[in-house]
Amino acid sequence: MTHRRAVALMVLVTLLWSIAGVVARHLEAAAGFEVNFWRSGFNALALAIGLTWLRGPGLWAGLLNAPRIVWISGLCWAVMFTAFMLAITMTTVAMVLVTMALGPMITALFARCFLKQRLPLRTWLAIALAGLGIAWMFGAEAPAGARLLGSLVACAVPLAAAVNWTLLQKTGQGSDAGPDMLPAVLIGAVLSALCTLPLAWPLQATTHDLGLLALLGVVQLAIPCLLVVRLTRVLPAPEIALLALLEVIFGVAWAWLWAGEQPAVSVLAGGGLVLFALVFNEGLALRQRASGTFSEAEGNIKQL
């Protein structure tokens, strides 16, 4: 897979992830832990069918004997699934997404500390610029008396995501010899559903709610999460985390257009700054790769 195609697929992943907030705002009766239970349950069902088709019946036997790193990644997915959906039911979509956008800075730090990756200056500049945009947005979304508990719960998402991207990067990038990490997404979905079922009882979701939660479980979770595991073999962990910031832009836009959560002007300005940081980083990366390809081709011509 080329880098350009991987970036395009990562943009699609963020687009699918971003629909969670606006869909959750149209639920009729389901709330809190029940929302997470049904979403993770439908996610687990879709993954079980899809991975059985991809891996065959041996998937289930191999799951019990999976390496420890697969189960650690599964635990990270469970934290990400659960904390995100709970936070969405506790505060505004913009507040949750802005808090989650701390991910690139945490991921870059983990990649530097644990993978010994030397990040290019452009990536650090983009992270700093995006961080400034996030701070701008956070300042507008956290007035006195706001429901900050949802943001505190949401903080678990970028922390778990940073651990997960670093693990996936370490085991998968540039090699097909590492452990199969796709089942980790299934493990995370099952753990998330089982842990929240007792807290979700008695279940009150309507048929309308179940349809929306099935959409979230399959389209918003199962498909993009499987895609992002594959993309860790092509894109560095910090770049994945940086591209994931697009979820903030998309998610705030959907909530504004379809759920009536109109953000402040400063939130829009901060989001624009985040988007500029992404374009800045990817544009320089594309230019450097093109320059390197041209130099290599020129060298080959001289040798001939």
Task: Convert the pLDDT of each residue in 183-224 to its tens digit.
Answer: 888 999 999 999 999 998 888 989 999 999 999 999 998 899
CA atoms lying within 13 Å on the CB side of residue 191: 19
Cα–Cα distance for residue pair 37/186, rounded to 1 Å: 14
Looking at residue 174, its pLDDT comes to 45
Percent of the chain with pLDDT over 70: 86
In this prediction, residue 176 has a pLDDT band, given cuts at 50, 70 and 90, of: low
Which residues are CB-contacts of 187 (< 8 A; sequence separation ≥ 6)? 63, 66, 70, 71, 73, 74, 75, 77, 78
C-alpha to C-alpha distance for 207 and 29, rounded to whole angstroms: 10
pLDDT tier at 141 (50, 70, 90 boundaries)? low
CB 162 within 8 A of CB 103: yes
Q: How confident is the model at residue 128 (pLDDT cuts 50, 70, 90)?
A: confident
Contact of 7 with 243, CB cutoff 8 Å: yes
Mean pLDDT (whole number) for 102-120:
76
Residue 297 pLDDT more than 50? no
Lowest mean pLDDT among 112-126, 146-160, 172-186, 204-218: 172-186
Q: For residues 244 and 102, what is the distance between their CA atoms, to the nearest angstrom?
A: 10
Distance CA 40, CA 194 (A): 9
User: Cα(153)–Cα(133) distance, rounded to whole angstroms?
Assistant: 21
What pLDDT does residue 37 have? 94
Per DSSP, the three-state class of 187 is helix
- Angstrom CA distances, 54 to 6, 58, 226, 227, stand at 21, 10, 12, 13
Rounded Cα distance between 172 and 190, Å, is: 23
